[in-house]
Amino acid sequence: MKIGLLGGMFDPIHLGHLRAADIVRESLGLDEVVFVPARVPPHRERPAADELDRYAMVALGTAGHRPYVPSDLELRREGPSYTVETVAALVHAHPGAEVVLIIGSDNLSMIAEWREPERLLALCTVAVVERPGAPPAAGGGLPEARLRRVEGTALPIASRDLRESVRAGRSVHHLVPDAVADYIDKRGLYR
């Protein structure tokens, strides 16, 4: 079994996240992709929406996509959300499965600064989704054998831009799954 892991703030989840998962799933033959919202980001500011709202949006955004599985793995864990701990938990929960960490090319150079990068690379393969028209991301000294560069038509959407749009009263229905847009409206998020 090949399991993809797409982690992040998902503040909110958007079509760019889903497209990145599609690209990697199709290119590398993944059986499923686990979407894991971070509880406490170690290298970023706290998210605008709380963890339960972000998890609910991930569940709504992935509903109806059979190979996509929302996970509260990091939300149940105290302290900072370290990717290496999440990957280790997935490996433990799925003995014999190959775990593929999905990241955008903009995050590749940062892996060397993450917690226990050597252990992380021993536990999983890293699939790097390149942005169209952007030069290939440098590997940051990481072993190329542990990286899979995946090309496809990624969507240049940023969650911070979506939050700004909502704050300004503009619709985000064309950038997030409909159920997520409805949830944002009903909960009054990002206003």
Q: 178 lies in a domain?
A: no
From residue 185, give the alpha-carbon distance in Å to each of 46, 52, 135, 178: 21, 16, 37, 11
Task: Give the model's pLDDT for residue 33.
Answer: 98
Q: 172 lies in a domain?
A: no
Number of domains in the chain: 1
Quote the percentage of the chain above a pLDDT of 90.
Answer: 73
Helix (H) / strand (E) containing 7: strand 2-8
The phi-psi region of residue 78 (left if phi > 0; otherwise alpha if psi is between -120 and 50; otherwise beta) is: beta
The Cβ-side half-sphere exposure at 47, using a 13 Å CA radius, reads 23
Helix axes 178-187, 51-62, angle to 10 degrees: 150
Structure tokens at 61: 């955004």
Q: Is 141 strand, coil or helix?
A: coil
Task: Give the model's pLDDT for residue 186.
Answer: 97
Residue segments in the chain with a per-residue pLDDT below the cut of 50: none
Q: 181 lies in a domain?
A: no
Structure tokens at 76: 């149940």
Q: 35 lies in a domain?
A: yes
Task: Give the model's pLDDT for residue 135.
Answer: 62
Task: Give the model's pLDDT for residue 167.
Answer: 97
Task: Give the model's pLDDT for residue 117.
Answer: 93
Q: 106 lies in a domain?
A: yes
Give tens-digit pLDDT for 99-135: 999 998 888 888 988 999 999 999 999 999 976 556 6
Q: 77 lies in a domain?
A: yes
Task: Give the model's pLDDT for residue 145.
Answer: 81
Task: Give the model's pLDDT for residue 140.
Answer: 64
Domain region containing 29: 2-155
Burial grade of 26 (CB within 10 A; 0-12, 13-18, 19 or more): exposed
CATH code of the domain containing 93: 3.40.50.620
Q: 176 lies in a domain?
A: no
